[in-house]
Amino acid sequence: MTEKRNGGTVMIFLLREDRSMFYLRYHRKLVSKCGLAIAVPGEIAGLYEAWKMFGRVEWAQLIQPTITLCEEGFEVVKSLAKDGELIEEGDIITNEKLGQTMRRIAQDPMSFYTGSLAQDIVDDIAEYDGIITLEDLAQYAPKIKAPLNISLDNGDFTAFAPVPPASGVVSNFMLKVLDGYNFGPEDVADDENKILTYHRIAEAFKFAYAKRTHLGDEDYWDVEDLVRNLTSSDYINDIRRQINDSFTQDIDYYGPTFDLDGNDTMGTAHMNVYTSEGSAVSLTSTINLYFGSKVRGSRTGIMFNDEMDDFSTPGTSNSFGVPASPANYIEPGKMPMSSMSPTMIFNRNGDVAFMTGAAGGTRITTAVAFVTMNSLWFDMHLLEATDTPRLHHQLVPNELRLEPDMDEAVENGLRAKEHDVTAISYVGVVGTIINYCSSRDFLPKEGCLGAVSDGRKGGAPSGF
């Protein structure tokens, strides 16, 4: 979670799940669908810590809408009713046990980690052969850190994003590499220019995902020098010089570190909040895959995560096709790498000009970068910036994935540059708030906030 307080302070709250105290060697097939897939949940502790520092509404009052949804039910939307015949779009679903759990959290949020609720959670997980203990829950603590930031000369912006094990440095690196091309609306105005621009974007994505393979939890893996490089103008200028405008390259050219042995957007959501006082929050929340570990607690009604899949296991790839990387191997207490990239971009006056983030696993970083470029550099209205067909490249597999409705001429042009082009249903689900104005300066004006919730998954912006 990236947070900016009125007055200029920007903080990062890492609410990330972590590995329990006890190291476990496990089979990759068990990682996403059983109790062993569950990492120590961190969201309640993190949100409570943020509330203690900055909250003004009573904690219990904040929890009440969730309790109401659990007990009175919510309407099934299209994305939840895709398959099967048990429920249909428009049906009402309740979860009374989760409602009871939320009432306990409303009274005492730390009971999740040290109280009677903690015992119920441990028992729920153990029922599905999980190994999280009361000690694991009691020792969990969210981390508050200073964010990474980069300057973007094209528009005179500064972008803030979270440190590893989040992937803010990855999406920021993409933007910084592409910042040097000084893109403008003319670079996507016709097929010829768009082909070159999209090729450069794809190449920046490939370099970024190569660098991501060296990243891990900074409290367990020395990433200081790499992060410094990934935010350094000299290093990034050198990377940009390695991009060949005529053709793409093989995987090894980009310098990844994989340990190799010879999907849809999942259980993630993103939200941005901007207040009349100038405070802002950009928050991404996840249980990883659809319905997480597929374990719902019989005592608590909690749908548990499968965040262990975000760690690397030697000789394997995770559910998003990312090969194992030594920096992300499992260790007790360690947080796994995540693609989450809640991002805030400030104008030259230090005001929030743009807030964004996404759901979609490895597609988060590329979606965040793409929508940001569309809006800030290509001068698209925020809705157009969000709706425009996207591209995605995560280096492995070495495929350039294009959304439906991409211009055929652009697709053919990218093939001519030797990209292995494949189709993908959609690249991430982005939520964005922008300070609109009539020029690219994005100077704040009264009443000029705009917000878009990506139509690829549904949802809608709200204001009050």
| Tally of CA atoms within 13 A in the half-sphere of 329 that contains its CB | 11
236's CB contacts (< 8 A; 6+ apart) are 173, 176, 177, 180, 230
Taking each continuous run of H as one helix and of E as one strand, the counts in the chain are: 13, 16
7: left (phi over 0), alpha (psi -120 to 50) or beta: left
Owner of token pair 């597929």: 294
Strand pairing report for 400-402 and 268-274 = unpaired
Backbone angles phi, psi at 166, to 5 degrees: -70, 170
Annotated binding site for L-glutamate: 286-288, 310, 338-339, 361
Annotated binding site: 286-288, 310, 338-339, 361
Strand pairing report for 74-75 and 92-93 = antiparallel
360: left (phi over 0), alpha (psi -120 to 50) or beta: left
425's CB contacts (< 8 A; 6+ apart) are 264, 403, 404
- The Cα 198–Cα 410 span in angstroms is 8
Question: Closest Cα to residue 449, out of 288, 285, 328, 280?
Answer: 280
Active site residue 268: yes
- The Cα 367–Cα 347 span in angstroms is 21
Q: Among the options 197, 213, 248, 268, which is catalytic?
A: 268
Q: Which residues are catalytic?
A: 268
